[in-house]
Structure 1
Amino acid sequence: MATVELTKDNFDEVVTGGGIVLVDFWAAWCGPCRMFAPVFERVSERHEDVVFGKVDTEAQPELAGAFQISSIPTLMVVRDKVVLYSQPGALPEQALEELVTKARELDMDEVRRQLAEQGSRA
C-alpha cells in the first residue's frame, strides 16, 4: 500500500478506523526524514493490511502540537485506537519490519486490560 498523506481533516478517520496504522511525522527540510522516507515507502508496499500515513509537520502544525512532536522524524504505531509506540528517530528497514510484526502479534485484549489496570492505579 502506498503511503497516505494525513491532515487535520482525515487524521482521526484514518487512525481510528481500526487495524494497524504507522504514522511518520516529518518535514521536507529534515535530512533524517528524507533518508527515512524511502524505507517507510518500501515497508508500506510489503504490508497491504497496514496503513502507512505521513504527517508533514510544517503543513500540519496542529497535529504535530497535539502529539507533542518535538523531534522529527517521529514514528507512531496505533492499533485499534491504542498508541503502541511513539519514538523520534529514523529506523533501519529491518527494525521497521520488526515493529510491524510486533504490532501485528500483540494480543490487544491483553493490552487493553493492562491499560485499564494502570488507569485504575492512577
Structure 2
Amino acid sequence: MQGDLCLQQVALAIQNSLSECEAYAIRLGGDEFLVLLLDAPLSKAQQVAHRIRNSLLKSAIPHPTTDSGLVTLSMGLASRDIIDPEGFSTLLKDADDALYDAKRSGRDCINGLRNW
C-alpha cells in the first residue's frame, strides 16, 4: 500500500513539472516512468529533469533507506529526431541505457552524474 501511494506522489511530482511544455508522462511498470517531450532538444530535457527533481524534493516523500531519508529519482535522458517507428525504438533504447547508467551511479542521478 505504501509503495502505491509513493508511486502516486512521484507521478504527481512529474505531472506538476510538465505544465510548461508539450509532454506525456507514462508509467512503464514497477518504479519506472517515461516522460516524452515533443520537439524538445536535450537541453530542454535537462531543464525538465531539474524541475521534476525539485518538485519531488518539495514533496518530501519519506524513504527510510536513503541517505536523505526521502525518495529520489535517477533519470536517463535521450534526444532524437523521430521520423519513423524505428527512430522511436532507438530513442527508447537510448533513454533506457542512460537510465541504467544513472542507476549504476547511485541514487539521485541523471545519466550517471550525481549532485546535479
Scaled by the length of structure 1, the TM-score of the pair is 0.30
Q: Which has the higher contact order (CA 8 A, sep 6+)?
A: 1
TM-score normalised by L of structure 2: 0.31
**Larger relative strand fraction:** 1
